[in-house]
Each structure stands twice: as C-alpha cells, then as structure tokens.
Amino acid sequence: MKVTVVGAGAVGASCAEYIAMKNFCSEVVLVDIKEGFAEGKAMDLMQTASLNGFDTKITGTTGDYSKTAGSDVAVITSGIPRKPGMTREELIGINAGIVKDVTENLVKHSPNVIIIVVSNPMDTMAYLVHKTSGLPKNKIIGMGGALDSARFKYRLAEALGAPISDVDGMVIAAHSDTGMLPLLSKATRNGVPVTAFLSEEQQAYVVEETKVGGATLTKLLGTSAWYAPGAAVSVMVQAIACDQKKMIPCSLMLDGEYGQSDICLGVPAIIGKNGVESIVEIELSDAEKEKFATAAAAVREVNGDLKF
Ligand code: NAI
C-alpha cells in the first residue's frame, strides 16, 4: 500500500506519523510546496522508525508528483488552517485553488487513487474534488465525522465520568461549528443510551462543546489541531488498506440518501478496499432531519462560491 500525503504541515505530518506507527503500509510520500519541507519532515519521521518500531518508508518531495505515482490512497491536507475567531468557511478562497491543483496532479500520476480530503472548508473541498477529479464517487472521502465523533466521545466520557472505551457516539452532517450534528439520541455507554445518565444541561453541554471542539483548540493553540485529525485520517486509511469494512462517518457525495443530492455531507459509511463500500442510512428523528437539512443548505451556499 502506497499512501501520499499532500501538505507536510501540522496535520499532514501527524497523518504520516500515525500511519507509519501503525505499520500497515509500505510507503508514505509527503508532498509540500515549501522547498525542502516535506523532505525534512520525512527524514525526521524516518529517524523515529528504529525508536518506534515501524518499517514504513517515508519520503518527501517538493512538488514532484512523479514520486507519488501509483498511490493507492492520497490525503489532501494542503492549504491554510484557520486562526482564532475564523470559521472554516473563510478559508475557501485560497484552499479551493490549492485543492483543485493538487487533485489534478494526484490523478495524473495515480489514476486509480482513493482521495481523502482534509483541507477546509472540508465538505466543500470534497465536493470540489468530485467535480474536478473525474474519479468515481466511491473514491472521494471527506474527513470530518471521524474527528468530530472522537471529540464527541471525549466530551461524553467527560460528562459521564466514564472511560472513553465505555462510550460510543457519532457526529454527522456538516464539518462546521453550526452544521455538526452530534447524534445524542444514539450515543451509548456500554449499549445503554447516554440520555439515561445525563441531565438535559449536561446533554446540551456535550453537544455544544463537540460542535465548537475545533474552535476551542484553535483558540488555545493559535492554529487548528493536528493530533486528533492525523489519528482520524490514519483510521480511515487503515480501513481502506486492510479492507476492514469499518463504519466511519465521512463526508460523501449524496445521491438521494438522507434526502440530499449533489452535495457532500457527513454520513455513516462502510469503508474498505474500494473506499466507500456503501452509505448507511440510519433513522433520524424529525428534529435531527431538520438539522441535517439546515446544515445541507448552509454547505450548499458555500459550494455556490466555488469556481470550477
Ligand atoms: P499547515 O499550515 O500546518 O500545513 C499546510 C501545508 O500545506 C503547509 O506546509 C503548506 O506549505 C502546504 N501547502 C500549501 N499549498 C500547497 C500546495 N499547493 N501543494 C502542496 N502543499 C501545499 O496547516 P494544517 O494545520 O496542517 O492544516 C491543513 C488543512 O487541514 C487546513 O485547511 C485545515 O483547516 C484543515 N484541517 C481539517 C480538519 C478536518 O477535520 N477536516 C482538521 C484540522 C485541519
């Protein structure tokens, strides 16, 4: 399995590190536009190999896409992250140009690649990749739900006073502060609905803190987070590499599912060797359906700013 990670910044390097540490893939190629940066990150990571016990070969290149040829999976993290007070949507102008250009280069050298889109505003960037890459829709996967669900579980465990391994929960809809839909009604502690344990005030706290999870970190760090995003991507890449058929919420092109079409939004999906093996349609309450539709309308508005 050969994986390319475009953007060797905070998130890209974290992706490469987690992928290598899990040792399921033979080769990771880091690509960046900054001269020598990807090469440097790759060398630094490779010098952890004997310490951390992995055999994955990590190399870096300054924009030479011939080095990415034959990639099975490519992760797009190139672009600018948000600064404190910014929304993900404000990044569209710069990141759309970068993502389009990167996609063309990736597909040129790896026509069968599966692309995982990370750059923000992610749902819109995933949509852009669908419109410009020519790849079938099972091969384009936006990363948002895997991270947001991890943040949801973190907040659930905190409110419950439970270990994280006790809780399960999922976030769907948009990867934005307002459009995220943490499915509290379906969250469980060892199979028991969490609503049985948490007061309404605690439930509201968990939902709100999940939705602003990225913004909270951006305020603390001065830029967006990287450990959990990198780990979330590595889980998705592993599901593909090992054909795990793992259910992961991802931003996918919808064609009637959840009442939406021609839009990328977060929905649960089975991820395996073909990328998206299938979309899972779960029953939502009327209130959840309304929130999903509102999130879709907001993403559609942002998509309207794209120029192909
Ligand atoms: P960063 O600034 O640390 O790294 C971005 C890298 O992309 C830089 O090294 C830059 O030189 C490189 N780059 C820019 N243009 C390029 C091009 N045309 N080709 C190759 N490389 C290029 O930013 P960070 O923190 O790694 O974030 C990257 C993106 O991921 C941002 O858009 C951020 O908002 C997004 N993000 C998305 C998350 C999600 O859940 N979907 C979570 C966290 C970040």
Query: Is any atom of ligand 1 closer than 6 Å to the C-beta of 124?
Result: no
Whether omega before 111 lies within 30 degrees of 0, making that bond cis, reads no
Specify the pTM. Answer: 0.98
Catalytic residues: 175
Q: Which of 268, 242, 26 is nearest to 146 (CA)?
A: 268
**Residues 6 or more apart whose Cβ sits within 8 Å of residue 133:** 103, 104, 106, 107, 115, 140
Mutate-to-test residue for ligand 1 from 120, 128, 172, 211, highest number of ligand atoms within 8 A of CB: 120
The overall average pLDDT reported for the chain is 97
Query: Is any atom of ligand 1 closer than 6 Å to the C-beta of 11?
Result: yes
Q: How far apart are CA 305 and CA 308, in angstroms?
A: 10
Query: Is any atom of ligand 1 closer than 6 Å to the C-beta of 147?
Result: yes
| Amino acid code (one letter) for 21 | M
Instruction: Check residue 301 and give its pLDDT.
Output: 96
Q: How far apart are CA 271 and CA 266, in angstroms?
A: 13
Angle (deg, nearest 10), helices 122-133 and 286-303? 60
Instruction: Check residue 104 and give its pLDDT.
Output: 98
- Indicate the annotated binding residues for NAD(+): 7-12, 32, 95, 118-120
Query: Is any atom of ligand 1 closer than 6 Å to the C-beta of 266?
Result: no
Environment class of 109 (CB within 10 Å of its CB; exposed 0-12, middle 13-18, buried 19+): middle
Q: How far apart are CA 81 and CA 205, in angstroms?
A: 26
Distance 83 CA to ligand 1 centre (A): 12
- For residue 101, the cross-strand partners are none
Q: How far apart are CA 284 and CA 185, in angstroms?
A: 9
Instruction: Check residue 167 and give its pLDDT.
Output: 98
On whether the CB atoms of residues 78 and 62 are closer than 8 A, the answer is: no
pLDDT at 90 over 80: yes
Question: Which residue's CA is minimally distant from atom 28 of ligand 1?
Answer: 77
Residue-wise pLDDT for 282-293, tens only, equals 999 999 999 999
Q: Which of 301, 234, 216 is nearest to 22 (CA)?
A: 234
Q: Which two tokens stand for residue 104?
A: 């063309």
Give the pLDDT mean for 205-219: 96
Residue-wise pLDDT for 31-66, tens only, equals 999 999 999 999 999 999 999 999 999 999 999 999
